[in-house]
């Protein structure tokens, strides 16, 4: 193997990440972009052209300077700088096993700490907002309704939804959707009877299509992209907000629907273990963030504790609707 910087980087991006690590094309592209930026930094700070850069130039001092350059010259946030640092660390971890003579260069960089970042608030919407949103989608097209209903019901990541093929949908009981997530890991997610009905109407339009046909396409017949899904969601959100400003926020992102599904399941008393599997998290620790940031769960816990001490509160749960009423009652 060519152990020059360019040779190692080429093998890392073209072979190691996609074939050995099973990284998604998006991850490979993100790592590639990190090194494109480092090469620009090297040209300015080290006065080296890309073909002159060596592994030794990825010293702790240079990488620290690179991160500072990203903040000062490009205005990158701490989270973005951490992503670039992760790409460099991953590459040097690979270099250590392919070219051990560079271990002395790699170790100090691998020990560099990530920048502290503020955890963003977990944004989610109510079941009433989801129902209003799907009402707008239903009025637009069977495709839009199927797309947004499936996005919410499966708590899929937007790329997972974009990648869905016809063969990934199983409508016969037990009805499931096979999602392919990070690291090309797949998981079978159950879907409700109401969504089965919605998906049946959408699939009827694709009758006869090969199994590897993308489930959702844009107006030109091309596979839908993440940007396309976000655009469709934004358009229906704007219409729903205009009709129901009291319950529908002005902006809803695809990931907010994923957060919303998890939060609604937690409010309904579903075990975190099942929600972890639905979301495709490796550890339940990741899923616990929904319980920690959901004010409704905190209020219920406090309410229950208070009831045990001072008796029944004025708050009653008798009128609480079932989690799926928003979909069952769609017309």
153-166 average pLDDT score? 93
HEC string of the chain equals CCCCHHHHHHHHHHHHHHHHCCCCHHHHHHHHHHHHHHHHHHHHHHCCCHHHCCHHHCCHHHHHHHHHHHHHHHCCCHHHHHHHHHHHHHHHHHHHHHCHHHHHHHHHHHCCCCCCCCCCCCCCCCHHHHHHHHHHHHHHCHHHHHHHHHHHHHCCCHHHHHCCEHHHEECCCCCEEEEECHHHCEEEEECCHHHHHHHHHHHHCCCCCCCCCECCECCCCCECCHHHHHHHHHHHHHHHHHHCCCCCCCCCCHHHHHHHHHHHHHHCCCCHHHHHHHHCCCCHHHHHHHHHHCHHHHHHHHHHHHHHHHCCCCCCCCCCCCCCHHHHCCC
Rounded to the nearest integer, the mean pLDDT of the chain is: 84
pLDDT band at 234 (very low <50, low <70, confident <90, very high): very high
pLDDT attached to residue 200: 93
pLDDT attached to residue 290: 59
pLDDT attached to residue 5: 95
The model's pLDDT over 85-141, given as tens digits with 9 standing for 90+, comes to 999 999 999 999 999 999 999 999 999 998 887 655 567 888 999 999 999 999 999
Q: Where are the domains of the chain?
A: 5-110, 127-328
CATH pick for 5-110 out of 3.40.30, 2.40.10, 1.10.3470, 1.10.150: 1.10.150
Where is average pLDDT lowest: 62-76, 122-136, 138-152? 122-136
255-273 average pLDDT score? 84
53-64 average pLDDT score? 95
Where is average pLDDT lowest: 152-166, 232-246, 257-271? 257-271
Q: How far apart are CA 248 and CA 148, in angstroms?
A: 15
CATH of domain 127-328: 1.10.443.10
pLDDT attached to residue 300: 53
The model's pLDDT over 313-322, given as tens digits with 9 standing for 90+, comes to 343 444 444 4
pLDDT attached to residue 269: 78
Higher pLDDT, 264 or 237: 237
Per-residue pLDDT at 328 exceeds 90: no
pLDDT attached to residue 314: 42
pLDDT band at 178 (very low <50, low <70, confident <90, very high): very high
Per-residue pLDDT at 331 exceeds 50: no
299-313 average pLDDT score? 44
Hey, do 5-110 and 127-328 end up sharing a CATH topology, with the first three levels equal?
Answer: no
**Catalytic (active-site) positions:** 157, 182, 255, 258, 281, 290
Please report the sign of the dihedral spanned by the C-alpha atoms of residue 129, residue 135, residue 141, residue 147: positive
């Amino acid at each position: 193997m060519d152990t020059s910087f360019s040779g190692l980087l080429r093998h890392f991006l073209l072979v190691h990440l996609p074939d050995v690590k099973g990284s998604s094309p998006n991850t490979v592209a993100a790592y590639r972009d990190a090194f494109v930026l480092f090469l620009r930094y090297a040209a300015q700070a080290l006065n080296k052209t890309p073909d002159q850069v060596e592994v030794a130039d990825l010293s702790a001092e240079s990488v620290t300077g690179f991160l500072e350059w990203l903040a000062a010259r490009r205005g990158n946030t701490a989270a973005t700088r951490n992503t670039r640092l992760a790409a460099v660390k991953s590459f040097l971890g690979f270099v250590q096993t392919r070219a051990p003579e560079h271990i002395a260069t790699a170790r100090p960089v691998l020990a560099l700490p990530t920048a502290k970042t503020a955890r963003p608030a977990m944004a989610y919407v109510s079941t009433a907002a989801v129902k209003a949103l799907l009402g707008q989608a239903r009025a637009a097209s069977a495709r839009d309704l199927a797309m947004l209903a499936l996005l919410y019901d499966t708590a899929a990541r937007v790329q997972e939804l974009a990648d869905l093929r016809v063969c990934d949908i199983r409508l016969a009981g037990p009805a499931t959707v096979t999602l392919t997530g990070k690291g090309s890991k797949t998981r079978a997610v159950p879907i409700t009877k109401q969504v089965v009905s919605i998906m049946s109407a959408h699939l009827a339009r694709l009758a006869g299509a090969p199994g590897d046909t993308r489930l959702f396409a844009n107006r030109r017949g091309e596979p839908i992209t993440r940007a396309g899904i976000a655009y469709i969601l934004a358009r229906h959100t704007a219409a729903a907000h205009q009709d129901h400003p009291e319950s529908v926020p002005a902006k809803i992102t695809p990931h907010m629907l994923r957060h919303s599904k998890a939060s609604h399941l937690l409010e309904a008393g579903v075990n975190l273990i099942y929600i972890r599997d639905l979301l495709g998290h490796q550890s339940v620790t990741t899923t616990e963030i929904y319980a920690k940031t959901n004010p409704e769960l905190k209020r219920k816990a406090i309410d229950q504790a208070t009831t045990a001490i001072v008796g029944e509160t004025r708050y009653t749960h008798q009128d609480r609707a079932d989690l799926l009423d928003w979909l069952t009652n769609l017309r």
